[in-house]
Structure 1
Amino acid sequence: MIAIINTGCANINSVRFAFERLGVTPEVISAPEQLAQFDKAVLPGVGHANVAINRLRSQGWDKAIAEYQKPLMGICLGMQLLCDSTEEGQVDCLGRIPGKVKLLETGKLTSPHMGWNTLAVKAEHALTAGLDESDQVYFVHSFAHQVNDATLVEGEYGQAFSAIVAKDNYAGMQFHPERSGKVGTRLLNNFINWKL
């Protein structure tokens, strides 16, 4: 049973439909006390980090997520919120995945980074099964997790950044797997099959 955490900071329907296409019916939950009942959880997110982290804390999600012992994956802003801190609003985040989120240094490239991009696998993990260098996924972001020991997969747009991260039972995907076609479907399936 997979929970999709509804904090009011994401369009959760596209994530829900992506899982349903894989034959899994996730449950959208809005109360932190529900989280422990589920085998896996997804934290989607869009918008501004400062607004989102304040909403998470005011609703009690920070404590529930910290106590969760099973696989939990953040998507896009949801991934960034699982990290130590972000330059977007200069806020401390949930501290579940080591590392800082900083503004992408895009040089002459347009910002935000929006569109399809390739991936480079840096560490083997259940979440990266079947990925190769020709695969592309869909990004929409201006901030990114700085590459460190938690980085499983890198992307590049002006600079290298973390595209997939993991630490213990927590993971994150900076791109939108639910909008990334067959590659995204494979990655969501990897999450469904991820065992600790």
Structure 2
Amino acid sequence: MVANFQSKIFIPLPRAKCYRVRSAVLERLCGSLEDYYALLGPYLAELRKVNPRSTFSIVCDREFTGAPPIFKRLYIGFESLKRGFLDGCRPVIGLDGCFLKIFLDGQLLSAIGTDGNNQMFPIAWAVVEGENFNSWRWFLGTLCDDLEIGEGYGWTFISDQQKGLEYALRERVSFAEHRNCARHLYAN
């Protein structure tokens, strides 16, 4: 982008300046992060209105009293997905996390079941600040409360070897089976 622009106007431009200008233009066109985060509250209120028995949870922090809230975590578990999983799937849950490829970083944690046709069945997902013990513990706690799993009798969780997940599973569902994904074991 920078080289293309420089060849057209014959003026050398520092790369950092180009990125700052691009960022300012995008903020004018699309709005700022604060504008988008301010929409999370009304978005969740609308979701609750349309899906009253579903589970939506948002966690925000404040740096000091009177400061605006800072987004930390968001959990979404629709009632229809929960009912479909509990009524038609085996008590096996796959847990995984992936990086969000945006400038804000963060991770997407997901819980997936397997339906009668051996197809993936989404259960719930969360956006968290990072993949660590605390975020997995929060996600598992909300998920287990949502599905009424209790201490895990008769349940199996499958995952790769994610940071903090094994400890969070032991703490939250100590009687559930925990297995590692065979594909990840083979790859490692």
TM over 0.5: no
Shorter-normalised TM range? under 0.3
Tell me the TM-score normalised to structure 2 length: 0.27
Q: TM-score, normalised by structure 1?
A: 0.26
Q: Which has the higher strand share?
A: 1
Structure number with larger C-alpha Rg? 2
Identify the structure with the greater helix proportion.
2
Higher relative contact order (CA 8 A, sep 6+): 1
